Copies of this chain bind each other. A is one copy, B any other.
Amino acid sequence: MELTARMIADMLGGVVDGDDNACVSTFAKIEEGVPFGLSFLANPKYTHYIYDTKSSVVIVARDFVAERPVAATLIRVDNPYMAVTELMNRFNDMTDKHPVGIEQPCHVGEGSVVEDNVYVGAFAYIGKNVRLGKGVKIYPQTYIGDNSVIDDNTVIYAGVKIYHDTVVGKGCIVHSGCVIGADGFGFAPLPDGSYRKIPQTGNVIIGDDVEIGANTTIDRATMGSTVISSGTKLDNLIQIAHNVNVGSNTVMAAQVGVAGSAHIGDNCVFAGQVGVAGHIKVGNRVTVGAQSGVPNNVDDGSTLMGYPALPGNSFARQAALLRRLPDLFERVNKIEKKQDK
Contact = CB atoms under 8 A, between A and B. Distances in A.
B143 A143 contact: no
Given A217-B177, A223-B29, A339-B335, A249 B321 contact: no
Contacts of A202: 27
B157 A141 contact: no
A293 B290 CA distance: 8
A interface, size bucket: 35 or more
Nearest to A122: B107
Interface in A132-155: 139-141, 143, 145
Contact of A257 (B139, B143, B173, B272): B272
A11 interface: no
A123 B121 contact: no
How many subunits of this chain does the assembly comprise?
3
A159 B215 CA distance: 12
B85 A236 contact: no
Interface string A62-89: 0000000000000000000110010011
Interface stretch (A12-20, A112-120, A187-195, A296-304): A187-195
Given A125-B141, A197-B89, A82 B255 contact: no
17 contacts: A27-B202, A81-B188, A88-B199, A103-B107, A105-B123, A107-B122, A159-B161, A182-B214, A185-B253, A195-B233, A214-B217, A217-B237, A257-B273, A259-B290, A273-B273, A322-B325, A328-B328
A283 interface: no
A182 B329 contact: no
A194 B224 contact: no
A251 interface: yes
A169 interface: no
Interface in A93-123: 96, 103, 105, 107, 121-123
A54 interface: no
Most chain B CB within 10 A, of A89, A107, A173, A290, is at A290
Contacts of A222: 27
Q: Determine chain A's interface SS by DSSP, over half rule.
A: loop
Given A143-B176, A177-B215, 20 more contacts: A26-B223, A27-B223, A85-B198, A88-B199, A89-B196, A89-B197, A143-B159, A179-B215, A183-B211, A194-B248, A217-B236, A237-B237, A237-B257, A257-B272, A257-B273, A259-B272, A290-B295, A331-B332, A331-B336, A335-B335
A28 interface: yes
A193 B267 contact: yes
B249 A88 contact: no
A326 interface: yes
A308 B306 CA distance: 9
A131 to B, nearest CB: 19
Contacts of A122: 105, 107, 125
User: Sorted from nearest, which 4 A-B pairs have the closest CB atoms?
Assistant: A161-B176, A179-B214, A143-B158, A92-B199
Contacts of A28: 223-224
A28 B157 CA distance: 33
